């Protein structure tokens, strides 16, 4: 009943994927399964990298260019753990991430989900001129994000899957529905997730699409609130 599944969605993420997987496998409290959900539109070595780990890492194919939400949902469908965790293919976990979250659940059995804090860092392969233009806060941030979350599978299922009609964002819509479902959530004061800032960040390349879909997700949440108020 304490098993943990980790889902890593990837589309052309070979450059940093091995580091992400290694950070999961290096946990002091290791997960029971690691699932890499590979968008079949991938043209780089992502599949080969994930496959090179053998039985340590399972791979799940996802319909080409169907979006991050579809990859996350495919990984979740294959997952068998009582708890779910997620990591982007270009980010990292520090070694005690799962241990501190499991301890938080043990201390408060009523919790449905536990988040941590997150620190951003500039990737060491960034060109100097680009690095100088990118904002990277020195202080850690409150990490209400999918890569910091550990959630009970039963609680996730109460909220439902990630919305696959959203192609550029994944978490904001899901989190709005989680709050509406009155999940009991906690953000603990531990910096155990590192978000990589690099030249190909989705938030840099698809900024306009993300902004537009964030507005859509927020409007849907407001519409649901109005319906409940009637």
Give me the CATH topology for the region 4-229. Answer: Spore Coat Polysaccharide Biosynthesis Protein SpsA; Chain A (3.90.550)
Sign of the Cα torsion 166, 145, 92, 118 reads positive
Q: Report, as an integer, the average pLDDT of 46-64.
A: 97
Look up the pTM and report it: 0.89
Interval 131-189: pLDDT, tens: 777 778 889 988 899 999 999 999 999 999 999 988 777 898 999 999 999 999 999 99
* C-alpha pair distances (Å), 2 with each of 78, 94, 183, 189: 17, 20, 19, 22
Which pLDDT value is given to residue 201? 65
Q: Domain ranges in the chain?
A: 4-229
């Amino acid at each position: 009943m304490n098993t943990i599944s980790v889902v890593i969605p990837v589309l052309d993420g070979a450059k940093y994927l091995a580091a992400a997987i290694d950070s999961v496998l290096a946990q002091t409290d290791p997960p029971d399964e690691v699932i890499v959900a590979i968008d079949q539109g991938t043209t780089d070595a992502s599949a080969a990298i994930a496959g090179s780990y053998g039985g340590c890492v399972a791979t799940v194919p996802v319909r080409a260019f169907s979006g991050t939400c579809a990859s996350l949902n495919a990984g979740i469908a294959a997952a068998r753990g009582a708890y779910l965790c997620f990591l982007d293919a270009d980010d990292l976990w520090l070694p005690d991430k799962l241990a501190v979250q499991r301890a938080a659940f043990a201390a408060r059995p009523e919790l449905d989900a536990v988040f941590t804090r997150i620190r951003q860092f500039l990737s060491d392969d960034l060109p100097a001129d680009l690095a100088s233009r990118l904002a990277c806060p020195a202080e850690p941030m409150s990490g209400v994000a999918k890569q910091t979350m550990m959630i009970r599978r039963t609680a996730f299922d109460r909220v439902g899957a990630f919305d696959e009609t959203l192609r550029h964002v994944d978490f904001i819509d899901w989190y709005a529905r989680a709050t509406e479902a009155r999940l009991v959530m906690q953000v603990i004061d531990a910096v155990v997730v590192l978000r990589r800032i690099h030249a190909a960040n989705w938030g840099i390349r698809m900024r306009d699409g993300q902004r537009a879909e964030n507005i859509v997700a927020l409007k849907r949440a407001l519409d649901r609130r109005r319906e409940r108020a009637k």
